[in-house]
Amino acid sequence: MEVTYKDVRHLRLRVLPPNGRLAASVPFGVSEASLRAFIDNQGPWIAKAQQRVRMAQPVVEPLEDGGRARLWGQWREVRIIPGNRNQSRLVGDTIMLTGADQAARLRAIGTLHRSEMNAVLPGLLESWEPRIGKESGAVKLRRMTSRWGSCNTVSRAITLNTALAEHPPTALEYVLVHELVHLWERGHGAAFVARMDHHLPDWRARRAALRGRP
């Protein structure tokens, strides 16, 4: 964390792009112990702010021939294949992309993420909906900038971020269970936490990994 002592009246904490690094402006005379206590008290806010920053400005490596991209938590080699259409496919551990420029290749790999998620979601739903005791009305996939998933408790529609395909499969499972539990509990209160603890005891560790924390 970057700490700067200034002639200010109040302690100010910021979360900086692109990786969510903390920066604090601290009034002269504030002790290190007081600063640490303040930061500890701001833990939930810091976690949400860091997630928003990382999702809004993800660190993306250029999709170039011989480069790499993440799929299901593993780095895969990228090979660029000449062609006019934006296409993508996984061959072994290699991601084959066709796209004239970065924007086209990003669209192509987004299609791969969607395809990969569509392949595993039926099995996850078949496994988890009976355990949760609720069925989703529909599961939609789209790229989102500020959240990993959402649940419409009226229509029972669940929306999942296609960026989850970049992370280990346990991340997708956590977000899906999280949204299914919302069909019982709209908020994140004690009842919601109790259901998450019952169904997915390690959900806090999975959430922390998604937020980039050990």
Domains and CATH numbers, the chain: 2-56 (no CATH), 68-210 (3.30.2010.10)
Q: Which two tokens stand for residue 133?
A: 């005791």
Chain Cα centroid distance, residue 40: 23
- Distance, in Å, from the CA atom of 138 to the CA atom of 129, rounded to the nearest integer, reads 12
Q: Nearest 5°: CA angle at 193, between 19 and 204? A: 35
State the residue for tokens 């960026």.
163
pLDDT, one tens digit for every residue, the chain (214 residues): 889 998 888 999 988 876 778 999 999 999 999 999 999 999 888 888 887 776 655 556 789 999 999 999 999 999 999 888 889 999 999 999 999 898 899 999 999 999 999 999 999 999 999 999 999 999 999 998 878 999 999 999 999 999 999 999 999 999 999 999 999 999 999 999 999 999 999 999 999 888 875 4
Which of 27, 35, 23 shows the shortest CA–CA distance to 6? 27
Neighbours of 134 (CB within 10 A): 14
Q: Which two tokens stand for residue 86?
A: 């934006």
Q: Is the pTM of this model over 0.85?
A: no
Sheet of 94-98, strands arranged across: 68-71, 74-80, 94-98, 87-91
Alpha helices in the chain (DSSP H): 32-41, 43-56, 102-132, 169-181, 190-199, 203-210
Exposure b/e, 45-83, CB count within 10 A at least 16 = b: ebbebbbbbbbeeeeeeebeeebebbbbeeebebebeee
